[in-house]
Structure 1
Amino acid sequence: MHRLAPTVLCTLASLAPFALAMADETSSTLKKIAETGVISVGYREAEPPFSYKTPDGKIIGFSMDLCNRVVEAVRQHLKLDELTVEYVAATSATRFVLVKSGKIDIECAATTNNAERRRIVGYSYPHFTTATQYMTRREDGIVKIEDLSGRSVAAASGTVNIDQLNTINREKQLNIGVIPTKTNSESFGLVADGRASAFVWDGILLAAMIAQAPDPSKFVLSEETLSLPEPYGLLVRHGDEEFRKVVNMALKQVFTSHDIDTIYETWFMSPIPPDGMNLNLPMSPALKAAFAAPRDYLD
C-alpha cells in the first residue's frame, strides 16, 4: 500500500475548503427550502415599477408579483403547508454576492441577463427588455452622447451600464469623467444638483425615476440608446437547474395566460403606489412575443 507524500497531503488539505465552498454553491436550493420552510427573496429598495419598498414598509412591484407566483409554485412543488418568505434587500453591487452565497434564493428585480453574468449566476426566462439610455437636465440641451464630452457622468457601480459607458468613452475618446456611485438614487441626485451632466442606466428605470421627481419636466430621457435591447431575468444560483426549472415553469404559466396582461397593466399602465405614478407604457410586440413563447436568453 502506497503512502501519500506529506506535500500531497498538504495539497489535499488546502483544497478541502474550496471543495466545501463548491458543494455549498451547487447544493439544491429546493432542499434548503424544504428543510427550513423559508425562501429568501431578494428585492430592491427603490427600483419601481419592478421592485421597491413603500413608505409603509410594503415590498411590491412587477417583479415581486412574478416572484409571488414562483413562491407559491415552490410551496406546491415541495408539498409544504406553509412557506415563509424572508425578504433580503439587495443593491446593484451586492445582488450577485448574495445569490452566490445563498443569502438570497431568488432575486426579484430588474437585473440584465448577459453572457458574462451567466458565468456566475443563473437566470429565469426573461420578464422584460430594455436598453441603456441616459437622463440629463433639460436646461443643458444635451441631445447626443458627444455632447457629454469633457463632462461628468454618473452610473451605479456593479451595473452593465457603467461598463457600457466606459467602453463608449474610451472608443469615442470623449474624455468623460465617469462617477461611480453606490446607488442609482445617488446618481440621479448628482444630476439634479448639477454635479453631474448625465446619469446612465436602463431606459425604463430612468423613465420611472424621472416620473417620481418633484418636477419631471426639468429632466430629459435620451432618445439615443447606448446598447441593444437586453432582457431582465430573475436571479438564481448558478448550476441549480432543479430550482431554475421550477421557477421557469411558474413563469411560463403566468406568461402564457391572461395573468401577465393583468400584472403588466397594474404596473405599467396604471397609477402605482405610493404617489400614483403612471408610466403609460404599453407592452411592446417584442415583449408579447417573448411571453407567448418563453425561452432562455443565451445570446
Structure 2
Amino acid sequence: MKKSIPSNLIITALFLTLGLSLCSQLSQAEAQDNTLERIKDTNSFVIGYRNEKHPFSNVTAAGDVEGYSIDLCNGIYEKLKHDLDQPDLELKMVEVAADNRFDYVQDGKVDIVCGTTSWTFKHQEKVGFSLLTYVTGAEMLVKDDSRIRSLKSLKGKKAGIIYGTLTADTIAKRVERDQLDIELVTYKHPKTGIEALENGEIDAYIADRIILIGLLDAADAPNDLKLVNRFYTYDPYALMFARQSLDFKLLVDRYLASLYRSEKSLELFNKWFSHMGIRSNENILRAMFKLQSIPE
C-alpha cells in the first residue's frame, strides 16, 4: 500500500507548485483578456463563493459571506477600486457549486472564485489561478474510539467523501487501483458527511484536513471524533479566474504578494487559523507566505 505523505514532502511539493505561477503561456496571451474590461464597463466586481467551506467561505446566520478566502478577495476588491479609480465599484456575491464553478468563470458570470479550489494542471486547462492561498492535504476523520488508522484498515467499511473535490477523485482512484474493499459514499454538502459520521452511517470521513477541522470545530460533539493524522494527497488552494485574464492575474498576484510581505498575512492567519493550533499546518502556511513574497 502506498505510504501517506509526510509534511516535509508537502513543503517540497509547495516549492514545485510555486514555480507554476511564474510561467506564462503564449496561448493565454493570445486569447482575449477581458476580466478587467468587464469590471470597468459594468462597474461591478463579482465574487463567486461556496457555502459550508469554513474557515474559507461560509454564510453566517445573519446572511453574511465570510472567511479567509473572502477576506483575500475583499482586499482585491479594494485594490481594484484604487487601481481602476472607481471608488464606487459595486461588490456582488454569487454562490457557486462544485459542478458549476468552472462554468461560471468561463462564462464570465463571476470574475473570481474565492474558496478552496485546488490548483491542478487538469483544472488549469479550464481556468487560471492566482498565487497559492493555502496548502493542505486529504485526511481522515473517525470516531474517537475507532481503530481505523489507514485506508487499509477501512476494509469492508464505508468512507464519506465530498463531491467534486480533488480529494474525492484521488481517493476513488486509489481505492480502485489498490482494489480496496471500501464503499465510498459521496456527499454534496460537507456538513452532511460529518453528520453521517456522528450518526454511525459511515466509518470514516475523508476530506482536506483544514475542511475537516472546520467541520470538527462546529460539530455537536467534537471530542467524540478525531483525525488519523495521515496525509493522503497534496492540495494547493488558489483563487480562480478566467484562464486568459493575465492583466487581472497580475493585479491579483500583486495584491497577494504585497499581503504576504506584510504583517497583514499573520493577522489573517490569527483570525482564521490560530485557534486550530498545529492542526492548521502553521509552519507550511508560513513557508508559503515567505516563498510568495515576490518583490515589486
With the shorter chain as reference, the TM-score category is: 0.7 to 0.9
SS at match of 1:102: coil
CA distance in 2, matches of 1:266, 1:235: 23
Is the Cα contact below 8 Å between 1:93 and 1:159 reproduced in 2? no
Q: Which amino acid aligns with 1:146?
A: K
Q: Which residue of structure 1 aligns with residue 266 of structure 2?
A: 261
For residue 283 of structure 1, report the CA deviation from its aligned partner.
6.2
Q: Which runs of 4+ in 1 moved over 6 A?
A: none
- Any idea what the Cα deviations from partners look like across 1:183-212, whole Å, max 9, x if unmatched? 212222222222211211100110111111
CA distance in 2, matches of 1:295, 1:102: 29
Structure whose CA Rg is larger: 1
RMSD in angstroms over aligned alpha carbons? 2.0
Q: Which residue of structure 2 aligns with residue 287 of structure 1?
A: 285
Is the Cα contact below 8 Å between 2:111 and 2:242 reproduced in 1? yes
For residue 26 of structure 1, report the CA deviation from its aligned partner.
4.2
CA distance in 2, matches of 1:283, 1:203: 9
For residue 149 of structure 1, report the CA deviation from its aligned partner.
1.4
Is the Cα contact below 8 Å between 1:122 and 1:237 reproduced in 2? yes
For residue 295 of structure 1, report the CA deviation from its aligned partner.
7.8
SS at match of 2:132: coil
For residue 285 of structure 1, report the CA deviation from its aligned partner.
3.2
Kindly indicate whether residue 86 of structure 2 is the aligned counterpart of residue 80 of structure 1: yes
Is the Cα contact below 8 Å between 2:260 and 2:293 reproduced in 1? no
TM-score w.r.t. length of structure 2: 0.84
CA distance in 1, matches of 2:162, 2:137: 16
For residue 59 of structure 1, report the CA deviation from its aligned partner.
1.1
**For 1:82-231, what aligned pairs fall within 5 Å after superposition?**
82-227=88-233, 229-231=234-236
Q: Structure 1 vs Structure 2: percent identity of aligned residues?
A: 25
CA distance in 2, matches of 1:253, 1:196: 44
For residue 131 of structure 1, report the CA deviation from its aligned partner.
0.7
CA distance in 1, matches of 2:258, 2:281: 18
CA distance in 1, matches of 2:105, 2:226: 34
Q: Which residue of structure 1 aligns with residue 26 of structure 2?
A: none
User: How many corresponding residue pairs?
Assistant: 264
Q: Which amino acid aligns with 2:94?
A: V
CA distance in 2, matches of 1:212, 1:144: 24
Is the Cα contact below 8 Å between 2:46 and 2:111 reproduced in 1? yes
Instruction: Specify every segment of 5 or more residues in structure 1 that has no aligned partner in the other structure, as ranges.
Output: 1-24, 270-277
Is the Cα contact below 8 Å between 1:93 and 1:182 reproduced in 2? no
Is the Cα contact below 8 Å between 2:44 and 2:91 reproduced in 1? yes
For residue 284 of structure 1, report the CA deviation from its aligned partner.
3.0
Is the Cα contact below 8 Å between 2:52 and 2:189 reproduced in 1? no
Q: Which amino acid aligns with 1:102?
A: G
SS at match of 1:109: coil
CA spacing shift, 1:254–1:289, aligned 2, 3 Å:
same
**Mean alpha-carbon deviation: is it higher for 144-153 or for 252-261?**
144-153
Is the Cα contact below 8 Å between 1:108 and 1:235 reproduced in 2? yes
Q: Which residue of structure 2 aligns with residue 245 of structure 1?
A: 250
Q: Which amino acid aligns with 1:230?
A: D
For residue 81 of structure 1, report the CA deviation from its aligned partner.
2.4
Q: Which amino acid aligns with 1:154?
A: G
- Any idea what the Cα deviations from partners look like across 1:3-23, whole Å, max 9, x if unmatched? xxxxxxxxxxxxxxxxxxxxx
For residue 142 of structure 1, report the CA deviation from its aligned partner.
1.2
TM-score w.r.t. length of structure 1: 0.83
Kindly indicate whether residue 230 of structure 2 is the aligned counterpart of residue 232 of structure 1: no
Instruction: Specify every segment of 5 or more residues in structure 2 that has no aligned partner in the other structure, as ranges.
Output: 1-30
Is the Cα contact below 8 Å between 1:92 and 1:183 reproduced in 2? no
Q: Which amino acid aligns with 1:257?
A: S
- Any idea what the Cα deviations from partners look like across 1:51-77, whole Å, max 9, x if unmatched? 111101111111111111111111222
CA spacing shift, 1:230–1:156, aligned 2, 3 Å:
closer
CA spacing shift, 1:201–1:26, aligned 2, 3 Å:
farther
